[in-house]
Amino acid sequence: MHPILGSARRRTLYLASWIVVGLLVAVAWSAANPDAAIAVALAVVVPPCLVLAFVCLSAWYVCRAAPLAAGSVIRTLAAHAAAGMVAAVVWATVWAGWTGVLGSLPALSEVSRGSRAQLAAVVAAGALLFWLSSLLHYLLVAFEESRQGEARELGLEVLAREAELKALRAQIDPHFLFNGLHSISALTSTDPAGARRMCLLLADFFRSSVRLGAEQEIRLEDELAMVRSYFDIEKVRYGPRLESEVVLESGCGSCRVPPLLLQPLVENAVRHGIRPLVDGGVVQVTARCDDASVRLRVRNPVDTEAITRAGTGVGLANVERRLAARFGREAVTRWRREDGWFEVDLRFPRIEETGAAGERFDGGGR
């Protein structure tokens, strides 16, 4: 659709611009006919100018057919020269007809003769106005193409971000499954009953993860329920060495978060924090929120004398990339190792869902 006709604001501005053009042409016509009153000049000039305004809208199609970035300059100039002359002839015809009508009135009998004498100037002015309109339409073409390009770029960016999120989410279940099967393998020879119990808990966990993981976002209280289920699985393996504390601040349970966001963090807390410690320890998961953001913290003890070993790179990096892909620069991921503890803090914008308030989940106490 024509960019001017498709917008009420642009139509108003375009019409107002041509009214100004009509006033200027009326002043010029009045100067060439000093005996004519200004009201007569307006009656003679403004109606043909409004017709020319409509004719000059066709410059849009000429600009699209002869773009500046493609084709030869001679061809583009020829197209606009021909279109300008056609518009000038149309305007001159309308001008002659309109002044003829006005000249038929006894009080305006001199208008027709004076206007016919100025017909050559009318043709030249019509062509010039059409070419000026063409310049305006070339600017509109460039603006529309730029806006369409930005829309396409934004669409591609959204698709790329969605693809990255799906890829990152797909890494979580296999990673946890690998660790779970490794734990079951370790228990089969030392605690067969525990291995069987762990298989059942693992099956329940994956049943829930399939249901919730298919969602783009889940309730924070459901995310923490998954964390508690994970601790139940790992306690089969670690026994009293593993304690957990999962705390959800009141009023935050209905917040929406990416599914299984905390899963890699609590896995790392158990694998790299609790496992190397002879006496084990407690893994703390805390969820707080305010009106604008959600803050999550995973805290676990570490062996201060152990040599730090690099993991697979899936856990913490996965969480950071998922939050960055979902929330951009509004998401903050920080971690630190201090005084025998390792902490990971997450903060991202709050997405609210109407529902029940949060509550405290305690997976075993301190």
Digits of tens for pLDDT over the chain (366 positions)?
Answer: 677 777 788 888 888 888 888 888 888 877 777 777 777 778 877 888 888 888 888 887 888 777 776 667 788 888 888 888 888 888 888 878 887 777 777 666 666 555 556 777 778 888 888 888 888 878 877 877 787 777 777 666 655 555 555 554 555 556 667 767 777 887 788 888 888 888 888 888 777 776 765 677 889 999 999 899 889 888 887 889 999 999 999 989 889 998 888 888 998 899 889 989 988 999 999 999 998 999 999 999 998 776 555 444 457 887 888 888 788 889 999 999 988 899 999 999 998 764 433 333 344 433
Whether residue 78 is contained in a domain is answered as: yes
Whether residue 118 is contained in a domain is answered as: yes
In the sheet that holds 341-349, the strands lie side by side as 242-248, 281-289, 293-301, 341-349, 332-338
- Read off the tokens for 346: 């997450």
pLDDT reported for residue 71: 61
Rounded CA gap, 136 and 133, in Å? 5
Angle, alpha carbons 243-247-252 (nearest 5°)? 160
Rounded CA gap, 223 and 227, in Å? 6
Residues 216 and 327 in one domain: yes
pLDDT reported for residue 274: 92
Residues 340 and 199 in one domain: yes
Whether residue 2 is contained in a domain is answered as: no
Residues 206 and 301 in one domain: yes
Residues 115 and 196 in one domain: no
Residues 139 and 200 in one domain: no
Instruction: Count up the domains in the chain and report the number.
Output: 2
Q: Name the 3-class secondary structure at 72.
A: coil
- How would DSSP label each residue in 245-267? EEEE-TT-TT-EE-TTSSHHHHH
Residues 149 and 271 in one domain: no
Q: Which of 123, 153, 183 is the last residue of a domain?
A: 153
Whether residue 355 is contained in a domain is answered as: no
Whether residue 171 is contained in a domain is answered as: no
Q: Name the 3-class secondary structure at 165.
A: helix
> Could you tell me the CA-to-CA distances from 195 to 186, 282, 365 in Å, in that order?
8, 22, 24
Residues 199 and 260 in one domain: yes
Whether residue 241 is contained in a domain is answered as: yes
Strand partners, 289: 294
Instruction: Tell me how far apart the terminal alpha carbons of the chain are, to the nearest angstrom.
Output: 68
Domain with 327 in it: what CATH number?
3.30.565.10
Whether residue 162 is contained in a domain is answered as: no
pLDDT reported for residue 288: 94
> Could you tell me the CA-to-CA distances from 6 to 11, 50, 54, 56, 148 in Å, in that order?
8, 19, 14, 16, 15
Residues 206 and 129 in one domain: no
Instruction: Domain of residue 303: give its range.
Output: 191-349
Residues 341 and 203 in one domain: yes
Residues 140 and 36 in one domain: yes
Residues 201 and 312 in one domain: yes
Residues 135 and 251 in one domain: no
Whether residue 160 is contained in a domain is answered as: no
